[in-house]
Amino acid sequence: MSQVFHEIEKKIIVSLKDNPKQTPESLEKSTQLSPDQIRRGIEWLRLKELAIVNESKSSMISLGKNGIESLQKGLPERRLLDLLKNGPKKLSDLQKELGFVFGPSIGLARKNNWVEASGDEIILKNSPSELPGEKTLKLIGNEKLPKDKIDLDDLSGLLKRPDFIIEDVLKTQEISLAESAKTLTLSNSVGGIDVEAKVPEVFVARTHPLKDTIDEIREIFVTLGFSEILGNMTQSSFWNFDALFTPQDHPARELQDTFYLDRINAKKIGTPEQIRKVSDSHKKNWRYQWDINEARKMVLRTHTTCVTIKHLAENKPDEARIFSLGRVFRNEKVSYKHLVEFNQIEGVVVGKDANLRNLMGIQREFYKRIGITKIKFWPTFFPYTEPSLQTMVYNEKLGKWIELFGMGIFRPEVTKPLGITKPVLAWGGGIERIAMLKYDLDDVREFYNNNLGWLRSATKCQ
């Protein structure tokens, strides 16, 4: 199939076949195209590597205002010498006759020993038949000449004088056909366009890649029968810690791990019964003085578990599948693997027959749906679940097992004080980690940099 050319390109190619080396101006004449059409046509052919464009620079020389005056009246120093031909003259007379070129012409003539001063008179000593510059002045005349046609030594003196010489730098292009173009056959089909040409890049408007992962995970849990609940990011310590059997003197509750809000305390943290029973459970099992003021301290939730436990305590369902999804916070140094704020999903199953193998089954199903099939379970520890497990998934790229979601069955010390009577299976974990696998990122911070270069181009790899 022959390549399709624009009419402009065709005309240029034809002209260059007849006359192999041309300037844009000569192409204009031979093709009857406008300068702009020629410019575009040459550029298209150059990008397709069908035309070769050699650019060269040249200077054109013509006379300026004072140059033209000297061409007509002679150089100022010639006028001086001519005035002295018939004997010495007084300075004042010369000044009158020569006007403003008097000074420079006397200076030049004395320097070259053509004249000498005697008292207030100037005497001619020697009058050369051709002064420097005179030859060039005549050569240029009223024309525009290429600089390389001129004796540069003779020109140099004139260049120094104001408004004598005008120098125009011209860029000239010489266009010729590339070898591959010389044998081209030009089809006569009309209206075709170059479908192989490069086009400008356009940017898609899209949802954030992390949000796409969040939506995908949300959909998976909905199809597995789970309903979404929402909750606040700011929580009382009571729901974030106490209700989850984390003692008030536990290291995890310290300032260095948790964000406490400055001088903000919750007024109402739970029903009097919830507070009494939760604090009793702490006193009995952890043996310390439980302090309600500690429970009132507001924190940025460290997990979404506080949202699900609050929901369960308020609704006490006998049978339920719910999940909560959102931002959680840790007071950590930001690095390529740690953020202070990230997304977590947390799900629970309530039911009299809910058991650990079901919990593992739900995990396996979830991972399968996000494309992870190589998984295993290890025992682990969380303060609020017993038994507790973690999922390990195999990462092909890293060649090792990495930890994803944690899970377990809520401890009776958690559920009983809140009046939850049926077993509660719970699991949760960070979403960024999964999104990093999906988008092949090594630096988790990229999700929150809003770097347009990345947002406009990020593609899923899994």
Partner 1 sequence: MPVVELSYSRLQKLVGKVSKKQISDFLPFLGLDIESEDKDLIRIEYSPNRPDYSTDFGIALGLQGLLGIKTGAVKLNVKKSNKYSISVKPAVSKIRPFVTGIVAKNGKIDDKTIKQLMTMQEDLHFGIGRKRKKSSIGIHDLDKISFPLVYTTANRNHKFIPLNSEKEITISEILANTDVGKDYGSLLGQSSQVPLILDNDQNTVSFPPIINAAITTVTTKTKNLFVEVTGINKEDAEDMLAVVATILQSAGFTLESVKISGAKNSSPKLDHRKLIVNSSLINQTLGLDLKIPKIISCLKKSRLDASSKGTNIVCTIPGYRFDIFGPMDLVEEVALGYGIQNLEPTISPSQTIGEINSISLQLKSLDKTMIGLGYLEALNSSLTSKRVLYDMTNRDSTKIISVLDSKSQEHTILRDSILPGLLENLSKNIHESYPQKMFETGTVFVTDNPITEKINFSAISAHKDANFTEIKSIIQSALNIGFGIKVETKTSAHPTFEKGHCASVILNNIPIGIIGKIDSKIIENYKIRVPVVGFEISLSESILKN
Considering only 149, 378, 460, 461, the residue that binds partner 1 (CB under 8 A) is 378
Considering only 251, 272, 293, 399, the residue that binds partner 1 (CB under 8 A) is 251
Shortest approach of partner 1 to residue 276 CB, angstroms?
A: 19
- Which range of residues in 89-97, 120-128, 206-214, 435-443 is near partner 1 by CB under 8 A? 206-214
Instruction: Supply φ then ψ for residue 136, to 5 degrees.
Output: -65, -40
Alpha-helical regions (H) of 74-208: 76-84, 91-98, 102-111, 134-140, 152-160, 179-182
Question: What would the x/- binding string for partner 1 be over residues 85 to 104, using CB under 8 A?
Answer: --------------------
| 264 touches partner 1 (CB under 8 A) | yes
Shortest approach of partner 1 to residue 222 CB, angstroms?
A: 4
Shortest approach of partner 1 to residue 405 CB, angstroms?
A: 13
Q: Exposed, middle or buried, 152 (CB in 10 Å: 0-12/13-18/19+)?
A: exposed
| 153 touches partner 1 (CB under 8 A) | no
Q: Of 330, 155, 105, which Cα lies nearest the Cα of 233? A: 330
Q: Of 66, 59, 260, which Cα lies nearest the Cα of 162? A: 66
Alpha-helical regions (H) of 112-175: 134-140, 152-160
- Which range of residues in 16-24, 52-60, 80-88, 252-260 is near partner 1 by CB under 8 A? 252-260
CB 145 within 8 A of CB 61: yes
- Which range of residues in 38-46, 74-82, 100-108, 358-366 is near partner 1 by CB under 8 A? 358-366
| 336 touches partner 1 (CB under 8 A) | no
Q: Which residue has the tokens 């308020």?
A: 314
Shortest approach of partner 1 to residue 433 CB, angstroms?
A: 16
Shortest approach of partner 1 to residue 351 CB, angstroms?
A: 7
Cα separation, 214 vs 223, whole angstroms: 14
Contacts to partner 1 from residues 280-319, by CB under 8 A: 285, 287-288, 298, 300, 319
| 395 touches partner 1 (CB under 8 A) | no
Considering only 125, 327, 369, 422, the residue that binds partner 1 (CB under 8 A) is 327
Considering only 163, 456, 460, 462, the residue that binds partner 1 (CB under 8 A) is 456
Is 81 strand, coil or helix? helix
292's CB contacts (< 8 A; 6+ apart) are 269, 275, 279
Considering only 97, 215, 273, 440, the residue that binds partner 1 (CB under 8 A) is 215
Rounded to 10 degrees, the C-alpha dihedral 118/120/123/127 comes to 120
- Which range of residues in 19-27, 92-100, 157-165, 383-391 is near partner 1 by CB under 8 A? 383-391
Tokens of 175: 């266009």
